[in-house]
């Protein structure tokens, strides 16, 4: 079936419930991936995994050390026509937390963490946790049940509108080092996760699935056997109830380094992702000031958050 990501945009726009334009909206077309909120959000540290509130004026994202240690979820607010300096989210900062996801109704917040199940018993892997919206903010995080969280790490929870949960996992019995799974909800209970099969999962590693709200499109990160030195973004479509073989996105969405944390904005207009691409390489002799500025700026080869018009995100062979 010859489709492209405009399909996602049409679905999302038709379901849009927010009257006010989201604060991430660009005044100019974005036919090429651009750094998001350069100098504030993408600031030269290791930033990734953007997730906006339903109203679009609050952004949660992950900041990590250059060696990808100590993942921390941070938050920024759109005020006085700009994004505020990021702060550590109230529920983060003690343990390793990452992969934020807010449901389409804004009532639930999912993320992964290595926080302990019981005080004094350090966790050995990453599990999926959930918070609910209260009058005063997000509730205390609760770990999802054992049918979802195995004795190995789980990653990147995203949900379709019907509550079906998609996530990556290193659990035993998969096709590779990590696979992508889905779990339906019946009578309020998660069902045994289903491996998405050979159209999606290989003997490499598949992580970070972003499922469309109607479960018809899946964008994910994978380190395939032919690209084990870095991870790329792939897309697959649902056709007559089965997934089409995943297709690797072309440049400039994949760049020869690591691309990850794919998200489609709630208004269906933009594609957000993270990349370790280096756009700041110098071909001239630099002063010390220039060198330090380049090495400490966004686009320096650490993780950055990028935004692009979804209409430009096309698949090879599509109409």
Cα(26)–Cα(32) distance, rounded to whole angstroms? 13
- Which has the minimum average pLDDT: 143-147, 240-244, 249-253? 249-253
The predicted-structure confidence for 182-203, as pLDDT tens digits, reads as follows 999 999 999 999 999 999 999 9
Q: Give Cβ neighbours of residue 107 (< 8 Å, ≥ 6 apart).
A: 132, 133
Predicted TM-score of the model (pTM): 0.90
Cα(245)–Cα(127) distance, rounded to whole angstroms? 28
Cα(24)–Cα(226) distance, rounded to whole angstroms? 35
pLDDT tops 60 at residue 221: yes
What is the SS3 assignment for 6?
Answer: helix
| Residue 143 token pair | 């770990």
pLDDT at 313: 79
Between 313 and 165, where is the model more confident? 165
Between 123 and 77, where is the model more confident? 77
In this prediction, residue 228 has a pLDDT band, given cuts at 50, 70 and 90, of low
Q: What is the mean pLDDT of residues 54-79?
A: 95
The predicted-structure confidence for 13-59, as pLDDT tens digits, reads as follows 444 444 467 899 999 999 999 999 999 999 999 999 999 999 999 99
In the chain, which residue ranges form alpha helices assigned H by DSSP?
Answer: 6-14, 288-295
Fold of the 49-267 domain: Neuraminidase (2.120.10)
Between 33 and 319, where is the model more confident? 33
Cα(64)–Cα(172) distance, rounded to whole angstroms? 28
Sign of the torsion formed by the C-alpha atoms of 156, 159, 104 and 26: positive
Rounded mean pLDDT of the chain?
Answer: 90
Query: How many other C-beta atoms can be found within 10 angstroms of the C-beta atom of residue 3?
Result: 17
Which residues does residue 72 pair with via DSSP β-bridges, in sequence order?
63
Which residues does residue 118 pair with via DSSP β-bridges, in sequence order?
121
pLDDT at 316: 37
pLDDT at 193: 98
Is the CB of residue 167 less than 8 Å from the CB of residue 208?
A: no
Query: How many other C-beta atoms can be found within 10 angstroms of the C-beta atom of residue 44?
Result: 18
pLDDT at 145: 97
Report domain extents, the chain: 49-267
**Torsion angle defined by CA atoms of residues 192, 109, 275 and 249, in that order, rounded to the nearest 10 degrees:** 50
The predicted-structure confidence for 98-148, as pLDDT tens digits, reads as follows 999 999 999 999 999 999 988 778 788 999 999 999 999 999 999 999 999
Cα(131)–Cα(140) distance, rounded to whole angstroms? 6
| Residue 179 token pair | 């696979």
Give the CA angle between residues 80, 83, 86 to the nearest 5°.
130
């Amino acid at each position: 079936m010859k489709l492209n990501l405009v399909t996602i945009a049409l679905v999302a726009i038709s379901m849009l419930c927010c009257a006010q334009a989201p604060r991430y909206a660009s005044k100019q077309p974005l036919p090429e991936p651009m750094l998001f909120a350069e100098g504030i959000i993408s600031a030269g540290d290791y930033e990734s995994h953007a997730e906006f509130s339903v109203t679009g004026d609050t952004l949660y994202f992950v900041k990590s050390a250059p060696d990808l240690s100590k993942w921390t979820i941070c938050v920024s607010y759109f005020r006085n026509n700009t994004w505020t300096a990021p702060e550590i989210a109230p529920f983060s900062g003690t343990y390793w937390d990452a992969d934020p996801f807010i449901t389409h109704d804004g009532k639930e917040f999912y993320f992964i963490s290595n926080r302990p199940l019981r005080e004094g018993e350090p966790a050995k892997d990453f599990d999926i946790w959930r918070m609910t919206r209260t009058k005063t903010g997000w509730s205390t995080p609760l770990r999802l049940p054992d049918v979802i969280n195995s004795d190995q790490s789980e990653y990147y929870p995203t949900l379709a509108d019907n509550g079906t949960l998609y996530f990556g996992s290193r659990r035993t019995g998969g096709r590779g080092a990590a696979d992508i799974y889905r779990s339906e909800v019946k009578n309020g209970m998660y069902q045994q996760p289903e491996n998405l099969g050979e159209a999606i999962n290989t003997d490499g590693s598949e992580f970070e699935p972003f499922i469309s709200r109607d479960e018809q499109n899946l964008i994910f990160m994978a380190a395939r056997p032919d690209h084990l030195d870095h991870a790329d973004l792939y897309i697959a479509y649902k056709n007559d109830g089965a997934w089409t073989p995943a297709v690797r996105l072309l440049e400039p969405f994949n760049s020869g380094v690591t691309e990850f944390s794919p998200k489609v904005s709630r208004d269906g207009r933009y594609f957000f992702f993270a990349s370790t691409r280096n756009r700041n390489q110098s071909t001239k002799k630099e002063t010390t000031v220039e060198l330090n500025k380049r090495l400490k700026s966004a686009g320096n080869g650490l993780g950055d958050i990028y935004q692009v018009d979804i209409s430009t995100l096309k698949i090879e062979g599509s109409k």
